[in-house]
Structure 1
């Protein structure tokens, strides 16, 4: 049994006028099912793109390339911190730590004072 006759690749053939008319009638019947009152009675003709295959593929390639470049430009736009920004954030962290230590020291002093005051009562 030869598998070549049922191959998935097929040769594109020219359509006869009869085949074109059958296809137009099928499109018109499909159009009648989905047509609303505001739509025209006649099914709109299929849009024919007269560009060459190269031009169509080139357009697809260019649009995908632009999309890819846009994705990477967004990722590359995120930059790291420079030295001044890093120093500033380090100073903020140190100040925050000092404030926390001072607060903890005050709390410890208050606790010690309360212990002493309860001890003498």
Structure 2
């Protein structure tokens, strides 16, 4: 079996399907006219059709717009996690103290139950 034959020649320009990143004013006008026509067809039966929304032109680069979105998401995330950072974590000493308090409360409740049982038993006699 023969090894594949590689060439350093570039493929013909007609086989490459690259879209230009630049948009002409004619293309913008055509797409705007197409949207307006679709808008009119969609609202043809309406008595008072709403005005077609205009897309505002943003002269910033794609990088700047994406950076703004990323910064906004980061700020929202920081705001959401800000309260989580304010919570004070208990150390071992504080946890032990709270455990002792719970045990004391349980002892008091048990003693009160036993006292109630004894009083109830005495009342039944």
TM-score interval (norm. to shorter): 0.5 to 0.7
Query: Please, which of 104, 115, 119 is the counterpart of residue 94 of structure 1?
Result: 104
> Any runs of at least 4 consecutive aligned residues in structure 1 with deviations exceeding 6 A, and if so which?
82-86
Q: Distance in 1 between matches of 2:63 and 2:110?
A: 68
Gaps of 5+ in 1: none
1:72 paired residue number: 81
Instruction: Give me the TM-score of the superposition, normalised by structure 2.
Output: 0.57
In the alignment, which of 104, 111, 117 is matched to residue 121 of structure 2?
111
- Give ranges in structure 2 of 5+ residues lacking alignment: 1-10
Secondary structure of 1:94's aligned partner: helix
CA distance in 1, matches of 2:120, 2:22: 95
Instruction: Quote the RMSD (CA, aligned, Å).
Output: 3.8
Q: 1:6 to 1:98 in 2, by over 3 A?
A: farther
- Structure 1's 107 and 45: CA in aligned 2 closer, same or farther, altered over 3 A? closer
Select the residue among 50, 58, 67 that pairs with 1:39. Answer: 50
Q: CA deviation at 1:66?
A: 0.7
User: How many angstroms does 1:34 deviate by?
Assistant: 4.1
Number of aligned residues:
108
